[in-house]
Amino acid sequence: MHSIDFVRHLINSFSVFYLAMFFVLITVILEFTSAFYYDPVYYVPKYKDFLDVQSKLAKKLFDDYDPTLSPVYTWTDIERPIGYDKEGPNRWNYTVFLYYLKLVEVQEPEEKVSVVMELMEYWTDARLSWNASHYKNTTTFYARQERVWSPTLTAFGVNDILDFRDQDNRLVCIDQSGFVWNYLSVRISANCQMDVSRFPFDTQICQIRFCLPIFYRVQVEVLNEIYKGIMDENIFKTMGNSEWKLINLTNRVEVLRYNDNMGNMDLAIFEITIRRNPLYYIYMIVFPSFIINFVSIVGVFLNGADKMSRLNVGLTNIMTMTFILGVMADKIPRTGNIPLLGIYIIINLVIMLIAIAIVTAITELRRWATPKLRMKKTALRAQMEIFLGPPLEYTCAIILELMTCANFLVMVGLWFDDGL
Ligand SMILES: *[C@@H]1O[C@H](CO)[C@@H](O)[C@H](O)[C@H]1NC(C)=O
Ligand SMILES: *[C@@H]1O[C@H](CO)[C@@H](O)[C@H](O)[C@H]1NC(C)=O
Ligand SMILES: *[C@@H]1O[C@H](CO)[C@@H](O)[C@H](O)[C@H]1NC(C)=O
Ligand SMILES: *[C@@H]1O[C@H](CO)[C@@H](O)[C@H](O)[C@H]1NC(C)=O
């Protein structure tokens, strides 16, 4: 009884004081729980300042921010030309910045080119801007990408696009003006029409196109850029592969135009020009078929061999050439024009056919003419008979060998012309 009275007395007389104390305590506890534990032994005090300011800034920025809503201005009339509204903002712009490119493979029969592209993309989001002088001159900070709205980069008209990043580990950097950028690494397999009429000395042009679908062209603008550093000769050399060399890389923005305003779309285009290294085809096809043809002609015209073995040499050669044509056919798309290498092999084939025809004709001619020439013995006829023997064959063999050499030299000349 006594103690309860005493407590009541205490509460009545000091209630105001306790209440005040209670609020002070709450404030202190709140202060401790909102600020993290920071050990100045490990880190300099300035670092804590920065972290505090950054937390404050992020809290302020992301409080009312909805990352599922885009900053694109849509009070636009899509039927009217770009920039008709003088009071409205400029078109919201989005830039794809090429930082590095690596050619992975070229599949000629399918007319596909695969590249790995290291890209940066950047855009602005007005909701993410702040006055740096209110936050101790904090001008930039990094955050997880899921905290901000990001546009979806889409490759236009490609076979396949593969984003190497883990969905959960993407980062962005945000600066005080609402400028946001991030980095991505993608593998793209693009369709390129190939012109193989100069194969194996061919140069191909391939385009990789990006767009932002669903937005109208009066609302967004797509831009592209190439990092100046990679236009350097030494870096450029590393971007091809062992078969193909990159010789030019350009960028531009093209408009995919339809007759109405609605369907128009900005396409950010990166264009690569690649040149084949023909050395493989020179020593795997051009040189061997030259040697085979050269030796076969000697074999076909070989004196003393019987008719059947001469024909055998010729037919074996023709089979070899046909086989080589088949090897080449696997490497080129099925287009209408015959590539240079095909023409070269076909000429070799024709030379061999001529050789076989000549040998057969001469044998027949000799069989037919010799008895007739022997009937009347004049000096001219005797000479004719000698000429119908080895000299005629030698002359033909030399002419055919010269044709084979000329064919080979033209091919090598084209190689040098191509700039090795
Ligand atoms: C892109 O948009 C930003 C912000 O609106 C603007 O400052 C910048 O000039 C624009 N860039 C181009 C190329 O229009
Ligand atoms: C940022 O804040 C400072 C201090 O309040 C002010 O002087 C300055 O004009 C502000 N800057 C902008 C761009 O609003
Ligand atoms: C922010 O930068 C301005 C201008 O550079 C400088 O005068 C000011 O002292 C800086 N404020 C802080 C807190 O560092
Ligand atoms: C690359 O292409 C551009 C545009 O077609 C051209 O102006 C430039 O001369 C080319 N560069 C080389 C090295 O071929």
Nearest CA to ligand 2 atom 3: 133
How confident is the model over 183-188, as a mean pLDDT?
93
The answer, yes or no, to whether any atom of ligand 3 lies below 6 A from the CB of 303, is no
From ligand 4's centre to the CA of 273, what distance in Å? Answer: 9
From ligand 2's centre to the CA of 124, what distance in Å? Answer: 20
With tokens 């990166």, the residue in question is 270
Provide the CB-side half-sphere exposure for 310 (13 A, CA).
23
The answer, yes or no, to whether any atom of ligand 4 lies below 6 A from the CB of 248, is yes
Nearest CA to ligand 4 atom 4: 250
pLDDT (0 to 100) of residue 4? 62
Question: Is 279 in contact with 292 (CB distance < 8 Å)?
Answer: no
Residue pLDDT, tens place only, 101-117: 999 999 998 999 999 99
Nearest CA to ligand 4 atom 9: 248
Question: Is 170 in contact with 148 (CB distance < 8 Å)?
Answer: no
> Which of 120-134, 213-227, 383-397, 403-417 bottoms out in mean pLDDT, i.e. has the lowest?
383-397
pLDDT (0 to 100) of residue 35? 61
How confident is the model over 355-370, as a mean pLDDT?
88
How confident is the model over 179-186, as a mean pLDDT?
94
With tokens 């009937």, the residue in question is 375
The answer, yes or no, to whether any atom of ligand 2 lies below 6 A from the CB of 257, is no
**In 3D, which of 141, 158, 127 has the Cα closest to residue 57?**
141
Q: Alpha-carbon distance 63 to 231, whole Å? A: 43
What mean pLDDT is reported for the chain?
88
Task: Name the residue with higher pLDDT: 92 or 385.
Answer: 92
Q: Does residue 6 carry a pLDDT above 90?
A: no
Q: Alpha-carbon distance 171 to 143, whole Å? A: 6
Task: For residue 131, give the ligand nearest its CA.
Answer: 2
Question: Is 339 in contact with 197 (CB distance < 8 Å)?
Answer: yes
DSSP 266: E
Residue pLDDT, tens place only, 230-287: 988 888 889 999 999 999 999 999 999 888 777 888 999 999 999 999 998 999 899 9
Q: Does residue 24 carry a pLDDT above 80?
A: no
How confident is the model over 189-204, as a mean pLDDT?
91
How confident is the model over 173-187, as a mean pLDDT?
95
Q: Alpha-carbon distance 391 to 364, whole Å? A: 16
How confident is the model over 52-56, as a mean pLDDT?
94
Backbone angles phi, psi at 128, to 5 degrees: -105, 30
The answer, yes or no, to whether any atom of ligand 2 lies below 6 A from the CB of 131, is yes
How confident is the model over 400-412, as a mean pLDDT?
95
Q: pTM here?
A: 0.82
pLDDT (0 to 100) of residue 27? 63
Task: For residue 272, give the ligand nearest its CA.
Answer: 4
From ligand 4's centre to the CA of 248, what distance in Å? Answer: 6
Give residue 128's pLDDT band: very low, low, confident or very high (50, 70, 90): very high
Nearest CA to ligand 2 atom 7: 133
How confident is the model over 403-416, as a mean pLDDT?
94
Structural domains of the chain, with CATH: 2-63 (no CATH), 92-277 (2.70.170.10), 280-417 (1.20.58.390)
Q: Alpha-carbon distance 298 to 310, whole Å? A: 10
The answer, yes or no, to whether any atom of ligand 2 lies below 6 A from the CB of 133, is yes
With tokens 């930082």, the residue in question is 99
pLDDT (0 to 100) of residue 397? 93
pLDDT (0 to 100) of residue 328? 86
Question: Is 191 in contact with 209 (CB distance < 8 Å)?
Answer: no
Handedness of CA 285, 287, 293, 296 (dihedral sign): negative
